[in-house]
A and B are shown apart, each in its own frame.
Chain A
Amino acid sequence: KQEVTQIPAALSVPEGENLVLNCSFTDSAIYNLQWFRQDPGKGLTSLLLIQSSQREQTSGRLNASLDKSSGRSTLYIAASQPGDSATYLCAAGGGSQGNLIFGKGTKLSVKP
């Protein structure tokens, strides 16, 4: 059974710092890996999607990498801003049906 773990559970950094959020999964036979952002009381916003055949994806200040052999993905945020404060969730896609297994998230706080 696929299990997804995110470490740390919470992270506080000063504005401007570069940071890395970690995601690990137990079954390397994933279809894709998706990173989401969730603001308090809101829904999930898709940030980046990495297909199983890809190594990384970039969008603006965000870069996500995928290493299936080690069961790890990282989300790199460059030059963090207070507006980046949110909970970040990673989810492993288990097949073409699209079912996602979620980690419990990393709550990020960026201090001005």
Chain B
Amino acid sequence: NAGVTQTPKFQVLKTGQSMTLQCAQDMNHEYMSWYRQDPGMGLRLIHYSVGAGITDQGEVPNGYNVSRSTTEDFPLRLLSAAPSQTSVYFCASGNGYEQFFGPGTRLTVL
């Protein structure tokens, strides 16, 4: 099993550009989520999904969209990137008990 995979590993954007961070898992987990990690702030929940077709907002959802069309994939879309979205983004999937994290995407917005 590959576990949780994320692409790309690194990305640089200009302010106002849009992009999609990809996340996939092969463990057949219903629960998936996105976190951002910032120095001094820890990890904060952006959006989560409890199954295909079901998504909800976390603590810091503004500026991000998600959708869940399949159990395996949970992409995170930045609609109009801002410097405040410079961060490391982690995707996670869970089986209702334990959560497993991907390797992260380091995003810089200039």
Taking Cβ atoms with an 8 Å cutoff, the residues of A that contact B are 32, 34, 36, 42-46, 49, 51, 89, 91, 96-105
Contact = CB atoms under 8 A, between A and B. Distances in A.
Chain B, interface SS category? strand
A34 B31 contact: no
Contacts of B100: 46
* Band of interface residues on B: 20 to 34
Most A Cβ at <10 Å: residue of B35, B50, B98: B98
A105 B39 CA distance: 11
B90 to A, nearest CB: 6
A110 to B, nearest CB: 23
Given A97-B48, A102-B43, A104-B42, A43 B96 contact: no
Given A43-B102, A44-B101, A99 B96 contact: no
Contact of B42 (A34, A46, A99, A103): A103
Given A98-B33, A99-B33, A105 B97 contact: no
Chain A, interface SS category? strand
Closest 6 CB pairs of A and B: A44-B101, A104-B42, A43-B103, A102-B43, A98-B94, A98-B31
A100 B43 CA distance: 9
15 contacts: A34-B98, A34-B99, A42-B104, A43-B90, A43-B103, A46-B98, A46-B99, A49-B98, A51-B97, A91-B43, A98-B31, A98-B50, A98-B99, A100-B99, A103-B42
B50 A100 contact: no
B58 interface: yes
B99 A97 contact: no
A34 B41 CA distance: 18
Contacts of B98: 34, 46, 49
